[in-house]
Structure 1
Amino acid sequence: MATSNKNLSDHSSKNIIDVSGKTFAIIVSEWNEEVTESLYSGAYQTLLDNGAHKENIIRKNVPGSFELTLAAQWMASEADIDAVICLGCVIQGETKHFDFICDAVAHGITNVGLKYNKPVIFGVLTPNNQQQALDRAGGKHGNKGDEAAITAIKMLGF
Structure 2
Amino acid sequence: MASNEEHYTLARPEFDKPVKILIVVAPYYRAIADDLIAGAKAEIEACGGTWELIEVPGALEVPTAIGIAGRMANFDGYVALGCVIRGETTHYETVCNDSSRGITLLGLQGLCIGNGILTVETYEQARVRAATDGQDKGGGAAAAALHLVALARNWGASRQGVGFVPARDEYQIAGGAKGPTTA
- Structures share fold, TM-score greater than 0.5: yes
Distance 1:57 1:129 in 2: 30
In structure 2, relative to structure 1, the CA distance for the partners of 1:135 and 1:101 (3 Å cut) is: same
Q: 1:91 to 1:40 in 2, by over 3 A?
A: same
* Aligned ranges 1:98-113 → 2 under 5 Å: 98-113=92-107
Percent identity at matched positions?
28
| Residue identity matched to 1:122 | N
Distance 2:106 2:2 in 1: 29
Q: Give the drift of 1:140.
A: 6.6
Query: Do structure 1's residue 44 and structure 2's residue 41 form an aligned pair?
Result: yes
Q: Does 1:93 align with 2:73?
A: no
Which residue in 2 is equivalent to 1:5?
Answer: 4
Contact residue 3 and residue 141 of structure 1 kept, 8 A? no
| 1:132 corresponds to 2:125 | yes
Displacement of 1:121 = 2.0
Cα shift readout 1:67-120 (whole Å, capped 9, x = no counterpart)? 1011011112235211011101000111111001101001111112223x1212
Question: Looking at CA atoms only, which structure, 1 or 2, has the larger radius of gyration?
Answer: 2
Per the alignment, do residues 71 and 63 of structure 1 end up closer, same or farther by CA in structure 2, a change over 3 Å counting? Answer: same
Q: In the alignment, is the contact (CA less than 8 A) between 2:132 and 2:139 conserved in 1?
A: no
3-state SS of 2:31 partner: helix
Cα separation, 2, equivalents of 1:51 and 1:29: 25
Cα gap change, 1:6 to 1:44, in 2 (>3 Å): farther
Task: Point out which structure has higher relative CO (alpha carbons under 8 A, 6+ apart).
Answer: 1
Structure 1 residue 12, shift from structure 2 partner: 2.2
Counterpart contact for 2:22–2:52, Cα < 8 Å: yes
> What secondary structure is seen at the aligned counterpart in 1 of 2:64?
helix
Which portions of structure 1, spanning 4 or more consecutive aligned residues, are displaced by more than 6 angstroms?
none
Change (3 A) 1:60 1:134: same
